[in-house]
Structures are given as C-alpha cells and as structure tokens.
Structure 1
Amino acid sequence: MFAGKTASEIFNNIRQHIASGSLSAGDSLPPVRELAATLNVNRNTVAAAYKRLVVSGLAESLGRNGTVIKGAQYPVALEGNHLRTPLSDLSGGNPAPDRLPDTRRYFAKISTTPRLYGDDAVSPGLQAWAQAWMHQAMPGAGAIDVTSGAIDATERLLFAHLLPGDSVAVEDPCFLSSINTLRYAGFTPCPVGVDSQGMQPEALEQALSKGARAVILTPRAHNPTGCSLSAPRAAALQQVLAQYPHVLVIVDDHFALLSSSPWHPVIPPQTRHWAIVRSLSKTLGPDLRLAIVASDPATSTKLRLRLNSGSQWVSHILQDLAYACLSDHEYLQELARTRQYYAAQQQKFITALAKHGLEFSPGDGLNFWLPLNRESQTAAFMLAKAGWLVREGEAFGVNTPAHGLRITLSTLNDKEISKLAADIHQALIH
C-alpha cells in the first residue's frame, strides 16, 4: 500500500492515500520499524515522514501507541453574539456597549502625520503610557510592543519560541480563542485544572514534568470561570515555574484595566522567556482591539522582526486613538465607574441566586460560570424556553467537555438579573 524511498516521497504517498479516502480518520499507520523494513529504507527516513505528517496536521502522534490519521477540521465554537436570535443573548462575552468610549471625541487628537515603512512600530505616546503601566508588573528588564489583540500576541509569542507539535499548558476550561489558536497552529494543548483561586499548581507541575514547553495563564477574570489568582496561589505557581526556567510563560491579563481583583505576580525571576499581555478590547471595544505586550528583551526582539516592517504593525491611527482615550482624565473617571459597574453586576447576580438557595462566590470579568454535574444542553434548553440564550460550557474543555454554563452579565439591568436567577433555579431543579 505504501511507497517511497525518501521522507518526502513517503509523506506524499501517505498524503495521497488520505486524499483518496483509502486512509481515514483514526486509521493507524504502521510502526516506523515495520514500514522501514517494508520499504527497505532507514527508520529515520520513515520517522521524518511521520513527523512531517504530524506537523502538517494530517496525523497525530500517540507516543508508544503509534501514529494515527487525524479527522477533518470542522468549524469550532467562536466568541460573539448570535445576532439573529429572538432570545436575550447572554452568550457573547461582550462588554456593555454603553460602557465603551465615544471615539468621536478623540479623532481630533490623532496625528495627521503619515507613518511610513521603517517608522517605529509603537506610537511614542502609547509607548510611554504602556511603559509606565507595565513597569511594576514586569519580573525584570523588558520591552514594550503592541499587537492586534491578546490572541495575536499569544500566537506570535508561541511561534517565536516553539515548534509545531510542542505541548502548551493551558487552563481547563479554557478561553475558546486560545484553544482554537493552539489547535490551528499545530501545538498540543495540555490541560491544567483551575479552581476558585486559578490554575492549580500540582496540575501545572505535572504538565511541565511531562514536557510542556510553554504556559499560558490568566491571572484575573479567567474566561470562562471568572476566577482570579489569590496571593498564595500566585506564589505557589511561581515556585513551580521557578523549577522550569526554560519554559515560556505567557500571562494573559486581558481584563487588567477593568478588573476588581488585585495583581499578583506569578513569573519568577529565573524564567528566561516571558511575556505579560494586556488587551484593551474589553476596555475600548473589540473594534479598538490591540494589546500591550511586555516581554524579556530576547522575546521582544523576535516579536519586532515581524512587527517593525510596517506590513504587520498595529495601525498608528488605532494606537493614537487608544492613547487619546487612555490619557483623557474624563474618560479615566468613566473607566473607574465601569470597573465598579462590572463588579456590581457580579455581586447583584450572586445575591439574586442566593435568594433561591444557590450559593456561589462572585467572580471577576464580564461572565458568570455556572458549574454543572452533567451535560449543559438540558439546562441551556430550559433557559432558552424562558427567553435566555447562554453559552453551553462543553466547548471550553480542552480535551474533555467542561460541564457548565457561561453567562455574560454585562448588559443586564436589575430586573433582568432577578428574573434570570429565578429561571436558572427552575432550570436546575428539572
């Protein structure tokens, strides 16, 4: 069935079998030694062909269990509202539109000087603001860069240090875009459990001991659960990471400007390559999406190889608009009120649930996570009958489904919060 004398020929032959349908998802390829003997080639030749199949996403290595053909890539769950639904949509994870800045006020402050190829990638005003903002969070000397959001930053950082197929430790359940980015890029997500205090140190230690080469963790307002690192938990994670100084550590502090939780440093001084990513999309809105990235000098240099050319930098008009907002005293006062508003939404919802005998601790961020001990479809259907569209939690699981509901609270008024709590109670007792 198989043919070829070089790694490239063997790869193309197997690829053709996949395309023709003679090899299907889940089919096992022959052991390397066996196929090498059949084709009368060196085992390293077959191993190289198999590695290329894995890197290309056509096959999956199961270690001692061999190499199997992967299935087709089907559409995955994405963030965002269902615009055509007649239900009250609490599934999108979006900020409250009326809490975003009125950008019309700031266009007059944007520079009219054209920025050309070869110019600095970061606008001077935003650079100075970001340096002051990120200084206390950095574990050592670092540099500032700007990317098109947290996911763009994460993807660039991983490609700067890792190879396709490398294992990346991530929280489980995990932010949908993070899961999708890892899978599309060919990295292997390694699930690390979370609880009310954030990522669990013992589970992280296990992932790192098994060879994870990078860690992505959320210090505050974890999506989907809303948990934030406590000071003891951050210290415990720091101790674990200190034992693996070669591992890339990415801290996704996406809710930094709006969080009601304190910042606890988690990156130890021993870590050689690190990055702190702070997105502005929840603060300024998804259409003003950019992220400030503070990283060690070597990592920053790798980022700038792609960002400084001009073809992939973040628009300076966008940067100037963000800086105009963030340097406006009136907007900063409104930002403080928005921070209080989101914290109040969490507390109001917790109080409303408690009236029905449902006891939870308030989280942080735009969403509330309702854990379930069974599949979420039934509860989600009951809430849909009551007029609510919520996000079923299974898609947030890394390797196994996460049973729960993620409910976006950002746009609810007090009456709606009370009704939602009552409807959740009814959904859970059926």
Structure 2
Amino acid sequence: MNVEIAGTTAAEIADSVRALRERGLLSPGDALPPVRELAATLGVNRNTAVAAYRQLAHAGLVVSKGRGGTLMAGAAHVAQEGIAADTVLQDIGSGNPDPRLIPDPATALSALVGRPVLYGEPVIDPELERWAHEWMRSDLPRSDMRITVTSGAVDAVERLLAQALMRDDAVALEDPCFLASIHTVRLGGYRAVPIPVDEEGMTVEGLRAALDAGARAIISTPRAQNPTGVSLSPARAAALREVLRPHPYVLIIEDDHFSMLSVHPYSTLIGPDHRRYALLRSVSKFLGPDMCLALAATDPTTAERLALRLNPGTTWVSHLLQRLAHAQLSDPRVRAQIAKAAAHYAERNRAFTDALVERGMRTPSSDGLSVWVRLPVPARTAAARLMRRGWLVRTGDEFRIDEASPASDCLRLTVHDLDDDDTARLLRDLETAAR
C-alpha cells in the first residue's frame, strides 16, 4: 500500500483513513498495515493503533479477517426485518404479524376529536399518559416512573443510547439479537458486547462478562426474544438483578415488544433501586407496524434527557396518532381482538414446534411471531435446500453479533399464517433439508 496514514491519536488515525477512502486512494478490499507496523511507522503506542482500527470497524469502514489482516470494507449487504422484495419464493422469514388479526382503526378514527395541539405543549397526550402509567406500573411498580412516547421502539432505543453514551461505549446485546438493535448500536458508533441467550433468557455468566467488559447499557427482551422466542424466567431474572445490583447506573433498556400478545408473565432485570432504566412497549405487533408508536417508562433523569430529544414541533409524536392508540387500547372490543390474536400465534407456533419435535428437530421457541428451529446441519445448507423447494427463510447467521463465531445451525421461521397444507409441506421439506 503506497498511501500514507497519518495521526498521533486514535481519532486522528481513523480520520486519516476516512479521508484516504473519500479521496479514492483506498478502495474496498485494500489491506491496511498490521497494527504493530502502523504503530511503529507513526511512532504511537500499539493500543492507539488498535483503538483507531476499532473505531473504523464500528463505523463499518473496515473489516477484520483475523490472520488475513484488516481490509477496507465494501458496500456489504445489511439484513433487514420484514417482507423480502422481488422474490417468487414463499417468504417465511418476514417476522410480520398477521394483517387479518390487526384491529381495524376506522371506528377509532371516526371518533377522534379535540382541539389542535400547538408548539410548546407537552409531548405526550394526557389521556394516553394516564393509561400508560397504569399499564406499566401494574408490571413495574416504581414510584419514580415517568412516561414518554416515541416513534416506535427502535426510535426509543436510539434516543436512549444517544442521551446516555458516547462513541465507542460498550452496549450489551443478547446474542443472537434483534436485527434493528444490532444496526442501531453499530450505526451509533457503540461497541456491541454479546450476552449468550439460552432457554431462560440472557445468561448470568454472559451478563457478568459484559459488565466486566465495561458495558454502560444493556438491551434486553424480557418476552418473546427475537429471534429465539424465549422469555426471561422469574428465577433467571432474579439472578440477573443480583448481578446488576452493584451497577445501578448502567442503563437497562427492556424492549417488551410482544407485551399484550405474550403468553408469559413479565419478568424484569430492573431492580427496585436501579437508577437508570427504560421499559419500552411498542404497539406495532398488535395495532400494526404502521402505528410507529412506543411508550417508554423511565426513571426521572432519563425521562428529562429523552424529552430534550423530543422537542415539540420537531421530533414529537403526532397527538392524533397518540389519541388513536389510546382510543384502541382502551376499547374492550379491541383488547378482545388482541387477546384472540395472542391465542392464535401461541396455538399455531405450539402446533408447529410439537410437529418439529416429532421429527427430531429441537426448538426453544415459546413465544413470539416466529419459531427458532435448531437443525443437525448448517443453517445456510438447510436454507439453500429449502430455497430449491420454494421457501425463503432466515438463517441464524443474520442475527449474530460476533461475525467470527461459528456458523449457525438455526433458522427463524414465521409460520403462524400458513394454512394446514402449506404447514404440512414445510414440515416435510424441513425434514428433508435437515438430513
């Protein structure tokens, strides 16, 4: 490599590489000097060079290939949730709710009345705030709780991390993890620290290791963890709270995305004396993804900082949308529809996982919109075989935090909306693909 990297601090070295890339002097696939060589050339400590490469990796500008060195990154494919576009395959990897089970908002829309909301008014509708306080405190009885509203759970996570962290701070994530959480952490320039997930939720050993690695925030899914479908058991939650007890200022973000649809009780990492916390509940899974609204129950300090990022007139959530959400959530008929949807997802997923067990395929899934299937062959092999039979699936590799970890042997399948004939065909094809 004939280009010259400059700088004496990690930030200056990283900026130098960025500038060389922008000027076209570094291209995707080009190798950067080994850490020791770069440190010697620039006359800096080896740790400074390591920190510079870490910053570049977090920004997605370089990739580490182990003994293959550090290479300039190209425009890599980024996995996204949702329906796959332009495919003739039957998509069972979307993770979507059944549109037939989403309540029709027409009745609530026709009843929406009230005066216009003006600049400078509170960001949350008073009736929605009162309703949310009652809902959240029934599960998390904190006297210091404040309610804020955001444009969905992903928006809330991004704002919560931004108000609490600085670039390169460590954020602990479940591994495997929800795609949006992985992207949010990486795009924010934070350092993702994986915590393994088993059939009772994130592991105690994994949380302890993440705290030892300097995690300043933790993102947890207490129920229907995406992609595995597992829920935090009461015993595991108690053990995790004990590990967190000496760390009251680590920000705990609980994304209870499946709340009203879950068949499991809510168990929490948030202890009674924990100082920084946020319980998030989006309405997307039961009122529809297009509602783009989530409620955040937080400690007062976090609420104040979050409110500064939701200034009225700029980034607030429409009060019409808030009133629509409240009108639906407080309607007994809509709540009955949501309960019916919860029973449907639970029954369809349970029937599918029971059929998998009969065929010798194990799954820890117990809740959620999808099932997590463990196979005796690599997931990519099974996915390719299923593709030849007309199915589009999600492999577990897409949900990994550590890209250097072994290839996954799991698939995430969204099967709740398949009819009986398609379900039977998928089970036969899965059995064949797993051989």
Q: After alignment, is 80-89 or 362-371 more displaced? A: 80-89
CA contact (8 A) 2:63 2:73 kept: no
Partner residue, 1:313: 316
Q: Which amino acid aligns with 2:408?
A: A
Q: After alignment, is 264-273 or 342-351 more displaced? A: 264-273
CA displacement 1:202-234 (0-9 Å, x = unmatched): 111011111111111111000000000111111
| C-alpha distance in 2 between matches for 1:310 and 1:25 | 47
Question: Percent of aligned positions with the same letter in both sequences?
Answer: 41
CA contact (8 A) 1:356 1:422 kept: no
Deviation at 1:285, TM superposition (A): 0.8
Partner residue, 2:426: 420
Residues 1:365 and 2:362 aligned together: no
**Residues 64-75 of structure 1: pairs in structure 2 closer than 5 A:** 71-75=73-77
Deviation at 1:322, TM superposition (A): 1.0
**Residues 126-165 of structure 1: pairs in structure 2 closer than 5 A:** 126-138=128-140, 140=142, 141-165=144-168
| C-alpha distance in 1 between matches for 2:300 and 2:212 | 27
Q: Which amino acid aligns with 1:308?
A: N
Identify if the C-alpha distance between structure 1 residues 291 and 26 changes in structure 2 by more than 3 Å, giving closer, same or farther.
Answer: farther
Partner residue, 1:57: 59
**Residues 26-425 of structure 1: pairs in structure 2 closer than 5 A:** 26-28=32-34, 34=40, 37=43, 50=52, 54=56, 57=59, 71-138=73-140, 140=142, 141-372=144-375, 374-399=377-402, 400=405, 401-425=407-431
Q: Which amino acid aligns with 1:21?
A: L
Deviation at 1:361, TM superposition (A): 5.0
CA contact (8 A) 2:123 2:317 kept: yes
| C-alpha distance in 2 between matches for 1:9 and 1:206 | 31
CA displacement 1:265-307 (0-9 Å, x = unmatched): 2212332211111111111111012111000000000000011
Identify if the C-alpha distance between structure 1 residues 70 and 17 changes in structure 2 by more than 3 Å, giving closer, same or farther.
Answer: same
| C-alpha distance in 2 between matches for 1:26 and 1:375 | 32
Identify if the C-alpha distance between structure 1 residues 28 and 131 changes in structure 2 by more than 3 Å, giving closer, same or farther.
Answer: same
| C-alpha distance in 1 between matches for 2:387 and 2:54 | 46
CA displacement 1:303-343 (0-9 Å, x = unmatched): 00011332101111111111111111111111111111111
Identify if the C-alpha distance between structure 1 residues 7 and 320 changes in structure 2 by more than 3 Å, giving closer, same or farther.
Answer: same
| C-alpha distance in 1 between matches for 2:12 and 2:179 | 37
Identify if the C-alpha distance between structure 1 residues 266 and 80 changes in structure 2 by more than 3 Å, giving closer, same or farther.
Answer: same
CA displacement 1:5-31 (0-9 Å, x = unmatched): 999876654443333335845434668
Identify if the C-alpha distance between structure 1 residues 190 and 60 changes in structure 2 by more than 3 Å, giving closer, same or farther.
Answer: farther
Identify if the C-alpha distance between structure 1 residues 153 and 99 changes in structure 2 by more than 3 Å, giving closer, same or farther.
Answer: same
CA contact (8 A) 1:55 1:165 kept: no
CA contact (8 A) 1:164 1:185 kept: yes
Aligned residues: 421
CA contact (8 A) 1:192 1:200 kept: yes
| C-alpha distance in 1 between matches for 2:39 and 2:433 | 56
| C-alpha distance in 1 between matches for 2:42 and 2:305 | 39
Identify if the C-alpha distance between structure 1 residues 148 and 70 changes in structure 2 by more than 3 Å, giving closer, same or farther.
Answer: farther
Helix, strand or coil at the partner of 1:126: helix
| C-alpha distance in 2 between matches for 1:296 and 1:120 | 18
CA displacement 1:124-182 (0-9 Å, x = unmatched): 22111111100133363110001111111111111111111111111100011111111
CA contact (8 A) 2:228 2:365 kept: no
Q: Which amino acid aligns with 2:259?
A: A
TM-score, structure 2 normalization:
0.88
Identify if the C-alpha distance between structure 1 residues 26 and 228 changes in structure 2 by more than 3 Å, giving closer, same or farther.
Answer: farther
